């Protein structure tokens, strides 16, 4: 195996001190980290410092070039038998050299810039050849502290982005004469919500304060939804939705109180179900009003209606029609029947949203999904410390009181959680016609997809046609189906079907929405991601019923459109924007394509691919404005770009398709995040150096190399030439289709470990992970637990063999969630040969215990895949006896990766007499492990445990 040199050669955060004083609005200074600052204190002048630095540089550079030790010099010298005097000529030369140096020093001192020269000399000493590559290390200063867990927890190194919610054209202010666009909602001072306009001084408050009083109680606004059909500052006949008192349920779902707010009257009206629908007993409250928390509340396209969820039923409230002020759409909502809202597994694995409903653009049809979990088996959760009202994922709360402040018995809860091979949620789809108030069930029966099919996406292409993407339960077959209510209220027509395994040995997964191409005089077209020759590209579909794309907008054989990239259409420029891996699979650059005359193999480069860059984007709905975030590898920044000005600039240039893109135009825009604050914080610490590598672990069938993306983290003040031995930590996630290794700038736990323990850290994306082509991803198909440990061991063992500064007796691997599974499988496979220690947090230990939709997507049904037994679980328990020690931690109320996983593993350790491990449970914590200071404790424990491991404290246990 070779540590191949990537064609992307920005491996580190280099010192660029010349830009130290430039502010964040400077085009040249953004994104360039400077970690070296001048030493303070002492009485030495810049001239004397100059000589000291020259001497130090000379000593380091020429320490092996002592003239007196040269053998030829000694031979000549011996002929003179002890003559040791220096000739007048030689003395004159030395004096001349000294005078020349003195003159240069005086000139430099006069110009007051000695540091510039010295810095250049010192910068060269930070370059080392490692694994065949020149690596530039971050500058180290003994006067600064290394990054620590304490400074990491203070979020000192985050980019402080400004939150932006773009306004649609109908929401533009009524009073501002500038209708050029670029309006967005954000938080201003003191948490107030304000509307700003990009590149102008326009700023208008939506409300005077984020706090308001209702019935002698104070409420704090945590979110705002502007009316979509009116200018945001229109006073009459205008309501916005405010959100208060959010209570998280799962990852995206919440309970909250929703309000209608009128800025003219400053009146707050709670959105509530009818009094007859209230579920809680209010008798003991003396008639006081109780405000019920809803699942969600959403405007209709015109802003005349609000649809909201309560008790798993849907309600429609008219804002201006008193006759039909409140209509109950569904009647069958229950703890196991979800109308317009995902259940646990849908929210986690299918549609990461809090709602499952879609308005037609003309507001005539409201389509929603219903999930029936009646046959889905329950998983029970016990809460030992939490109050019943803190248990937020059940509707049948235990209202038992506490005795002496404790629960005598655990508060019990349960979730409907399907596991591989068991009953899945039953999907049905319905349409509510606004004009008739009629509810109709849509027939989705399909023998090929089965009775437990999965709805991955739904979108109105125009007011007449809606497109559904449905799959079978194993996420292998995908069927696009069209709903046309004017043709039939109940039937769907099939547009196309694909078999992901047959076509690219892959799977169907969470799908970003399609991109609508409006055509005022015809049916709308749309752009969708398609797989062509094993790569993700963009296809243009003429209408909702098209069986295939009419035009392939991208078709390169060497890069992919990022699966999770937004695809945004600008109708004025006839252009779509998207992120692609053109530079490398660790980069994400912004490019565009004209849908009418663009070259599919040569998109318009916007952010230059001639240098490393990982970007994220958030466009206004019409594509006219761009919230552009540079994520790394240098210090992140945020800018707002007017795309009309961008295209004017593009059209004025000759280099429209060159790799440099249009960074000079982008960098002329002001940085809007708090760049300087983060920059100052970064300059006050010593950071480890991140090196980005591609590592070959074999060849594909066509002879092309199989390359893994790897980040190498080197500790502050690292010097490979000293002979010092460093511990090695490998961090891994490894889930199929996931991406951990990118060139985004990060200061995370891995950097803290490196800086605190003087350790080298490798972060590895093994085969099967994301942002590479399907030839790479498909290694995970029906094969979880096989390639991940082999790739981790291969990379780590070869790295240790190639680098003598690694202490091979101080090596560890760790991961969380799927990373915990990968960690345990790696330790099982390695049998103590490469790794001596391991840490697994909230690990999957047997894929029969995880949810069905995720697991079957990659492994199929247990009845058809024998690898569930052979490699889909931890089974070789004696392998762990070869380790010096390992650590296992889990939250007891983990609704995602159940505690059952760790308890099952512990039981098997008991049966096989495995004792060399430490264990920690976190009471009532879920998968994120946060409850009651748990997140603070877990990272303290991880770092301390590693310190003990690397210092030898476990050697004699």
Q: Which residues in 241-259 are b (16+ Cβ under 10 Å) and which e?
A: bbbbeeeebbeebbbbbbb
Q: Is 575 part of a structural domain of the chain?
A: yes
Q: Which residues in 846-881 are b (16+ Cβ under 10 Å) and which e?
A: bbbbbbbbbbbbbbbebeebebbeebbbbeebebbe
Determine the average pLDDT of the residues in 484-511.
95
d(CA 57, CA 542): 67
Residue 924 has pLDDT above 70, yes or no: yes
pLDDT single digits (tens) 468-495: 999 999 999 999 999 999 999 999 999 9
Contacts (Cβ under 8 Å, ≥6 apart) of 482: 465, 466, 467, 468, 492, 493, 494, 495, 544, 545
d(CA 141, CA 687): 10
d(CA 99, CA 561): 62
| 668 & 540 share domain | yes
d(CA 939, CA 98): 56
Predicted local confidence at residue 42, as pLDDT: 39
The DSSP code for 778 is: G
Determine the average pLDDT of the residues in 694-702.
92
| 630 & 517 share domain | yes
pLDDT single digits (tens) 299-353: 999 999 999 999 999 999 999 877 668 999 999 999 999 999 999 999 999 999 9
| 665 & 520 share domain | yes
Predicted local confidence at residue 86, as pLDDT: 53
Structural domain of 533 = 509-673
Residue after which a domain boundary falls, among 622, 647, 673: 673
Q: Is 948 part of a structural domain of the chain?
A: no
- The pLDDT-based confidence of 763 (bands split at 50, 70, 90) is very high
Predicted local confidence at residue 74, as pLDDT: 43
Predicted local confidence at residue 903, as pLDDT: 98
- On the CB side of 916, CA atoms within 13 Å amount to 20
| 546 & 668 share domain | yes
Q: Is 604 part of a structural domain of the chain?
A: yes
Which comes out higher in pLDDT, residue 99 or 345?
345
Q: Is 541 part of a structural domain of the chain?
A: yes
Best mean pLDDT range from 23-27, 174-178, 563-567: 563-567
Q: Is 947 part of a structural domain of the chain?
A: no
Residue after which a domain boundary falls, among 673, 702, 729: 673
| 408 & 536 share domain | no
| 517 & 622 share domain | yes
Determine the average pLDDT of the residues in 564-573.
95
Q: Which run of H or of E encompasses 944?
A: helix 934-950
Could you tell me if 837 and 949 are in contact, meaning their C-beta atoms sit under 8 angstroms apart? yes
Could you tell me if 895 and 250 are in contact, meaning their C-beta atoms sit under 8 angstroms apart? yes
| DSSP codes, 78-120 | HTTTT--PPPHHHHHHHHHHHHHHHHHHHHHHHHT-HHHHHHH
The neighbour count for residue 507, using CB atoms within 10 Å, is: 25
pLDDT single digits (tens) 611-668: 999 999 999 999 999 999 999 999 999 999 999 999 999 988 876 558 888 999 999 9
Determine the average pLDDT of the residues in 773-777.
95
Predicted local confidence at residue 591, as pLDDT: 96
Tell me which of 287-296, 379-388, 617-626, 737-746 is least confident: 287-296
| 399 & 538 share domain | no
Residue 725 has pLDDT above 50, yes or no: yes
| 513 & 398 share domain | no
The two beta strands, 885-891 and 837-841, are parallel
Could you tell me if 227 and 320 are in contact, meaning their C-beta atoms sit under 8 angstroms apart? no
Determine the average pLDDT of the residues in 252-265.
90
Residue after which a domain boundary falls, among 612, 642, 673: 673
Predicted local confidence at residue 177, as pLDDT: 62
The SS3 of residue 666 is helix
Kindly list the catalytic residues. Answer: 817, 894, 927
Q: CB-based burial of residue 483 (10 Å sphere; 0-12 exposed, 13-18 middle, 19+ buried)?
A: buried
φ/ψ (deg, to 5) at 841: -110, 130
| 396 & 524 share domain | no
Q: Is 916 part of a structural domain of the chain?
A: no
The number of domains in the chain is 2
Measure the CA angle with vertex 811, ends 891 and 944; round to 5°: 45
Predicted local confidence at residue 284, as pLDDT: 46
Average pLDDT along the chain? 86
Best mean pLDDT range from 247-251, 695-699, 836-840: 836-840
Could you tell me if 712 and 690 are in contact, meaning their C-beta atoms sit under 8 angstroms apart? yes
- The pLDDT-based confidence of 7 (bands split at 50, 70, 90) is very low
Instruction: Provide the CATH number for the domain around residue 533.
Output: 2.140.10.30
Q: Is 526 part of a structural domain of the chain?
A: yes
- The pLDDT-based confidence of 104 (bands split at 50, 70, 90) is low
Q: Is 699 part of a structural domain of the chain?
A: no
| 514 & 649 share domain | yes
| 520 & 626 share domain | yes
Residue 569 has pLDDT above 70, yes or no: yes
Which comes out higher in pLDDT, residue 849 or 597?
849
Break the chain down into helix, strand, coil percent, rounded to 5.
25, 30, 50
Predicted local confidence at residue 110, as pLDDT: 47
Determine the average pLDDT of the residues in 72-101.
53
- The pLDDT-based confidence of 390 (bands split at 50, 70, 90) is confident
| 558 & 666 share domain | yes
d(CA 799, CA 131): 9
Measure the CA angle with vertex 668, ends 667 and 669; round to 5°: 90
């Amino acid at each position: 195996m070779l540590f191949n040199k990537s064609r992307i050669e920005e491996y580190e955060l280099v010192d660029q001190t010349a830009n130290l004083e430039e502010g964040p609005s400077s085009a040249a200074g953004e994104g360039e980290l400077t970690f070296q600052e001048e030493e303070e204190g002492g009485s030495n002048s810049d001239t004397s410092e100059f000589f000291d630095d020259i001497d130090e540089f000379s000593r380091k550079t020429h320490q092996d070039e002592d003239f007196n030790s040269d053998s030829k010099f000694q031979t000549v010298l011996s002929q003179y038998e002890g003559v040791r005097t220096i000739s007048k000529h030689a003395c004159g030369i030395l004096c001349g050299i000294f005078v020349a140096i003195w003159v240069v020093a005086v000139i430099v001192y006069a110009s007051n810039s000695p540091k510039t020269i010295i810095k250049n000399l010192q910068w060269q000493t930070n370059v080392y050849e490692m694994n065949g590559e020149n690596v530039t290390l971050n500058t180290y200063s003994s006067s600064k502290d290394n990054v620590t867990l304490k400074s990491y927890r203070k979020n000192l190194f985050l980019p402080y982005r400004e939150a932006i919610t773009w306004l649609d054209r109908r929401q533009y202010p009524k009073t501002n004469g500038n209708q050029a666009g670029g309006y967005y909602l954000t938080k201003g001072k003191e948490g107030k919500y304000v509307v700003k306009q990009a590149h102008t001084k326009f700023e208008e408050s939506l409300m005077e304060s984020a706090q308001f009083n209702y019935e002698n109680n104070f409420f704090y606004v945590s979110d705002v939804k502007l009316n979509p059909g009116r200018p945001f500052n229109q006073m009459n006949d205008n309501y916005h939705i405010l959100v208060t008192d959010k209570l998280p349920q799962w990852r995206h779902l919440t309970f909250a109180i929703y309000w209608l707010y009128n800025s003219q009257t400053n009146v707050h009206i709670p959105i509530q179900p009818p009094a007859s629908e209230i579920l809680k007993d209010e008798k003991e409250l003396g008639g006081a009003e109780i405000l019920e928390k809803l699942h969600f509340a959403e405007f209709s396209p015109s802003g005349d209606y609000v649809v909201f969820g309560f008790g798993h039923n849907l309600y429609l409230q008219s804002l201006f029609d008193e006759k039909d002020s409140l209509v109950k759409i569904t009647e069958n909502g229950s703890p196991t029947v979800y109308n317009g809202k995902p259940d646990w597994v849908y929210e986690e694995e299918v549609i990461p949203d809090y709602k499952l409903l879609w308005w037609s653009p003309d507001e005539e049809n409201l389509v929603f999904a219903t999930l029936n979990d009646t046959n889905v088996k329950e998983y029970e959760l016990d809460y030992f410390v939490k109050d019943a009202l803190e248990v937020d994922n059940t509707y049948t709360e235990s209202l038992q009181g506490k005795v002496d402040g404790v629960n005598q018995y655990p508060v019990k809860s349960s979730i409907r959680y399907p596991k591989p091979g068991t009953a899945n949620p039953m999907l049905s789809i319905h349409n509510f016609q606004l004009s008739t108030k009629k509810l109709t069930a849509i027939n989705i029966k399909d023998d090929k997809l089965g009775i437990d099919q999965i709805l991955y996406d739904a979108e109105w292409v125009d007011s007449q046609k809606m497109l559904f993407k449905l799959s079978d339960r194993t996420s292998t077959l995908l069927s696009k189906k069209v709903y046309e209510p004017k043709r039939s209220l109940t039937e769907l027509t099939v547009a196309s079907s694909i078999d992901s395994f047959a076509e690219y040995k892959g799977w169907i997964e969470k799908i970003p929405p399609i991109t609508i191409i409006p055509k005022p005089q015809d049916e709308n077209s749309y752009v969708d991601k398609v797989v062509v020759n094993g790569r993700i590209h963009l296809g243009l579909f003429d209408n909702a019923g098209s069986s295939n794309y009419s035009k392939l907008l991208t078709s390169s054989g060497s890069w992919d459109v990022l699966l999770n990239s937004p695809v945004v259409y600008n109708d004025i420029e006839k252009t779509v924007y998207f992120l692609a891996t053109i530079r490398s699979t660790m980069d994400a650059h912004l490019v565009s394509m004209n849908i009418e005359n663009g070259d599919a193999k040569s998109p318009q480069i916007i952010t230059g691919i001639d240098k490393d860059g990982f970007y994220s984007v958030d466009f206004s709905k019409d594509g006219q404005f761009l919230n552009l975030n540079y994520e790394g590898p240098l210090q992140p920044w945020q800018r707002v770009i007017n795309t009309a000005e961008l295209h004017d600039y593009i059209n004025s240039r000759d280099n429209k398709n060159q790799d440099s893109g249009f960074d000079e135009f982008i960098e002329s825009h002001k940085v809007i995040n708090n760049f300087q604050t983060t920059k100052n914080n970064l300059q006050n610490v010593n950071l480890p150096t991140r090196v980005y590598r591609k590592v070959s672990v074999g060849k594909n069938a066509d002879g092309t190399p199989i390359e893994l993306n790897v980040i190498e983290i080197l500790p502050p003040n690292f010097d490979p030439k000293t002979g010092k031995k460093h511990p090695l930590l490998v961090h891994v996630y490894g889930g199929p289709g996931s991406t951990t290794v990118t060139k985004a700038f990060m200061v995370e736990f891995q950097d803290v470990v490196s800086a605190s323990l003087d350790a080298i850290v490798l972060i590895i994306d093994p085969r099967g992970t994301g942002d590479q082509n399907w030839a790479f991803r498909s290694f995970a198909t029906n094969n979880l637990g096989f390639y991940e440990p082999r790739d981790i061991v291969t990379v780590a063992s070869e790295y240790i063999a190639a680098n003598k500064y690694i202490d091979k007796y101080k090596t560890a691997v760790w991961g969380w969630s799927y990373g915990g599974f990968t960690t345990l499988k790696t330790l099982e496979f390695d049998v103590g040969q490469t790794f001596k220690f391991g840490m697994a947090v909230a690990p999957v230990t047997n894929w029969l215990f995880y949810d069905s939709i995720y697991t079957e997507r990659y492994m199929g049904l247990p009845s058809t895949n024998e690898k569930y037994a052979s490699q889909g679980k931890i089974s070789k328990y004696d392998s762990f006896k070869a380790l010096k020690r390992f650590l296992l931690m889990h939250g007891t109320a983990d609704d995602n990766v159940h505690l059952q996983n760790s308890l099952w593993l512990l039981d098997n350790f008991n049966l096989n007499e495995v004792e060399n491990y430490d264990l920690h449970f976190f009471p009532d914590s879920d998968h994120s492990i946060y409850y009651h200071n748990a997140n603070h404790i877990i990272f303290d424990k991880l770092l301390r445990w590693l310190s003990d491991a690397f210092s030898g404290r476990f050697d004699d246990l």
